[in-house]
Structure 1
């Protein structure tokens, strides 16, 4: 179903406005050229509201909206654990990890690894992250985004990917992280409003179709007619237990997945590294945590509603786009703009992170320094190349998957245990050696592949938890065998303050209470 003239007009206004605002906020004073700090870390000028909005805008993209709605359609509310547990994970990151990163004044996560371990660890992890960002994350954002555009407008998927890439470049390539972060507040407002409105329309339509009235009736009817979709903790008898293995979701591998994603992922943590101050960064993280509590209403509930409204979908990932076709003219354009906002924001954030890691970790050579303007130019070129490569490989990698979100989680789960061990022990155990960290990181892939093929019946999230424990053992054993004592590059946590403000502490308690209420209600 194509968009009406009114829908297209709403969308075009959004595109033009976003590009204009991006150029306005990223302009420099007369006579000042952007340096690497300006381009990659926004000159360490981001306020809390921009940090919080940018964290969510970077996170909520096609893979979340389309993928998690698809998972909601197929699995149900249990998939919301990724969102709700992320809220608490963010508070942990803000209290214990961010103070260390800001104290070290780093640009990238690989840079921290070199400061703590050695250049080998930095190079290996930089290459790894570039591969994942280009061949997993960027491809997923482009493919699922183009799939949504194809479902809603009929535009060919290839042309959809080209449009998304060009739009992303148009508003972010010049300004870098500053353009991305300061426009993300607009993206998040649009995403939140559009998503909530789509959920409202879906629930209201369910009520009307079943002789009720209003969203409360709609939700009750949905919960009554599809009760299996409202189980937060899946039983072993569930056909989806392998994806979300019951109580393990609360106490097992999902913690490792979330800590890796929110704490040690350049794509996400980069906006907190650009904070004006530690307190400002922590306020931004708390803001993002509360927004995460809201996300299941926006990205999961529509998928569950689609079970009643469009029950015979060919693929689960078509749930969200198909619901959008139920929207009235004009409002469909607004929700379409919200969806595209999420996609291009994530594209812009991802390409900026790719450019940052390549330029600062692999290209920059302190023995042969270049001008700051040169590094900015290299970053822009890398952003373009990454997008082009992702466009070419998107269909071969993702075209055959029914649920791309679950594919992404399982693939990244091969490596996240080692990453968490590498950073966690690197920050909080002084005896961890460079070899130990490297063996743990590489061992993560080896152990994961071994379990995948030798014990395929183990749910991937349980496998993540088991591999994490094995990687900890590897790192500890290797460090003790080398017997070097405290590493000369060890982080001195005694010199870093982990104290947080009263507002941050109250926010943490509130999030814990809200999460407890959610899980008790839908256990």
Structure 2
């Protein structure tokens, strides 16, 4: 990176962090620190909710997901608008009426203490692990750009987030997230514009879409009923609905964003903003990845986007590496010629169909060569990450954007990382303080003591998240890893809340044991079956509801 890029990068991040700390100096009450003094308006809530969900993983990994597998991932979000409407008109009024700091306080008033602690404990496990992944994503960037060891970049990113999250609590998180989302959205539009600009000497935007479509990169909708497929309309509408319902309705990292609203109307409007904007935003990011695939047809593409892995492989197996590199270059030229021939013919004619087949054949050969490179890397060092989709967008940014904009785009990814991770750490600390420390350890402490404990716990959770970040190295694709992790726990947590809201005759003991049984079932299904992970949200939720009803009826019979 040039000096200008570093200036833009650290200048943007410094201004955002400094602004958040400055605006929240002197925050000493629990109401201010955990709920931002109930002062947030719907615009801040809406952007804060979006920024907490849209981590650096979204902007690093999602374009790579589309590059690798097409746009089917967008189906993950098809149930989200319905879920947000339900949360806005069912969950929010209940939380406001009870004046809770965390969602899990409600579970004690409805059931008992052990059910509240179970719900909070499941959240802490899931969100603590997820926070590690969101720290790991931008650490990859720093490691790639600066050539630093990943250990140091993980520590740097983690400590930066801890500093301003500890300093200002929920208000600092929400205020800075509004600025961060502005930088993020502007940066993504700029990147997309440059991709289209670079393609213009070869193909028009419409022709680029035709190429991507014929190479199966625009396959955004799949009506298959195969439950082993990860992404279909049905898994998105049903599994995605339960995932989003649990995430936005029971995950403290989101609940805390809208509980800081001035009133229920502001909180509802903030969620409706996300209901309207989230799918278009994800579609646009995935489309950016699909266009990147077309871009790398006309411009030199690495045989493996994690170029450090190739460099290390070249040291131990130079002859085999050179063979694959030479073959990749020849296949790249062949595919480029096939695609240029395709766009110059009428697709409806026999010649056009031949062009499509040639384009697909050359693409398959190229992808097979890329797979051979992955297998060679793995054969020489099984610990090296062979999945390179997380490096696709980053490679484009570093190699093809002008000075200054590189710094801005890297700032975009860091902003997303900080906004999401800060929201997670803030929620983890709030839940630990309110549901465990205040509830069990020291119920009679002063507000100032609770704020001090919450700040200490924020720092401790930050350190744990840094530790979890080192485990993320084993994941194939970060955006999938986050959703898989959520799906293992969210269905169960949602089931507990839905029983609390709607199945009034079920008591705490029944739902407590049902949640444990259902959680064990989900972990077993994940380990021993090939069921698409989105279905775990539906299965977990249905399991808690069904088993708790049966247990309660059995206990009533006794």
Task: Say yes or no: TM over 0.5.
Answer: yes
Question: Which of 498, 501, 505 matches 1:424?
Answer: 498
Question: Which of 447, 458, 477 matches 2:531?
Answer: 458
| 2:225 counterpart of 1:231 | no
Task: Write the mapping of 1:341-356 to structure 2, written as runs, cut at 5 A.
Answer: 341-356=415-430
Task: Quote the Cα distance in structure 2 between the aligned partners of 1:218 and 1:146.
Answer: 36
Maintained 8 Å contact 1:206/1:221:
no
Offset of 1:26 from its aligned partner? 1.1
Cα RMSD for the two superposed structures: 2.3
Name 1:489's counterpart in structure 2: none
| 2:88 counterpart of 1:97 | no
| 2:322 counterpart of 1:249 | no
Question: Which of 262, 282, 285 matches 2:271?
Answer: 285
Offset of 1:222 from its aligned partner? 4.6
Maintained 8 Å contact 2:84/2:271:
yes
Task: Quote the Cα distance in structure 1 between the aligned partners of 2:58 and 2:519.
Answer: 25
Task: Quote the Cα distance in structure 2 between the aligned partners of 1:398 and 1:470.
Answer: 29
Question: Which of 11, 32, 41 matches 1:38?
Answer: 32
Task: Write the mapping of 1:342-381 to structure 2, written as runs, cut at 5 A.
Answer: 342-365=416-439, 368-381=443-456
Cα distance per residue 1:365-419 (max 9 Å; x no partner): 4874112111111111111111112222322x22122212223322332222221
Say which SS state the counterpart of residue 176 (structure 1) adopts.
Answer: helix
Maintained 8 Å contact 2:36/2:170:
yes
What TM-score comes out, normalization by structure 2 length? 0.79
Larger helix share, 1 or 2:
2
Moved over 4 A (4+): 234-237, 365-368
Maintained 8 Å contact 1:416/1:444:
no
Question: Which of 474, 479, 499 matches 1:400?
Answer: 474
Task: Quote the Cα distance in structure 2 between the aligned partners of 1:7 and 1:116.
Answer: 54
Offset of 1:262 from its aligned partner? 1.3
Offset of 1:11 from its aligned partner? 1.4
Question: Which of 4, 7, 11 matches 2:5?
Answer: 7
Task: Write the mapping of 1:186-197 to structure 2, written as runs, cut at 5 A.
Answer: 186-197=179-190
Task: Quote the Cα distance in structure 1 between the aligned partners of 2:479 and 2:439.
Answer: 37
The range that moved more, 295-304 or 381-390, is 295-304
Change (3 A) 1:343 1:251: closer
Change (3 A) 1:63 1:458: same
Say which SS state the counterpart of residue 430 (structure 1) adopts.
Answer: coil
Offset of 1:55 from its aligned partner? 0.3
Change (3 A) 1:352 1:222: farther
Task: Quote the Cα distance in structure 1 between the aligned partners of 2:18 and 2:481.
Answer: 36
Cα distance per residue 1:237-268 (max 9 Å; x no partner): 9xx96321x34224432221111111111011
Change (3 A) 1:196 1:298: farther
Offset of 1:281 from its aligned partner? 0.7
Task: Quote the Cα distance in structure 2 between the aligned partners of 1:4 and 1:105.
Answer: 51
Task: Quote the Cα distance in structure 2 between the aligned partners of 1:459 and 1:4.
Answer: 44
Task: Mark the runs of 5 or more structure 2 residues left unpaired by the alignment.
Answer: 307-387
Maintained 8 Å contact 1:222/1:305:
no
Name 2:485's counterpart in structure 1: 411
Offset of 1:84 from its aligned partner? 4.7
Task: Write the mapping of 1:255-266 to structure 2, written as runs, cut at 5 A.
Answer: 255-266=241-252
Offset of 1:146 from its aligned partner? 0.7
Offset of 1:297 from its aligned partner? 4.5
The range that moved more, 86-95 or 111-120, is 86-95
Change (3 A) 1:17 1:261: same
| 2:203 counterpart of 1:212 | yes
| 2:465 counterpart of 1:478 | no
Change (3 A) 1:355 1:153: same
Name 1:198's counterpart in structure 2: 191
Name 2:346's counterpart in structure 1: none
Task: Quote the Cα distance in structure 1 between the aligned partners of 2:411 and 2:176.
Answer: 14
| 2:42 counterpart of 1:48 | yes
Task: Write the mapping of 1:147-186 to structure 2, written as runs, cut at 5 A.
Answer: 147-186=140-179
Change (3 A) 1:20 1:285: same
| 2:404 counterpart of 1:330 | yes
Task: Quote the Cα distance in structure 2 between the aligned partners of 1:71 and 1:113.
Answer: 38
What TM-score comes out, normalization by structure 1 length? 0.84
Task: Quote the Cα distance in structure 2 between the aligned partners of 1:413 and 1:330.
Answer: 39
Task: Quote the Cα distance in structure 1 between the aligned partners of 2:186 and 2:15.
Answer: 17
Maintained 8 Å contact 2:225/2:234:
no
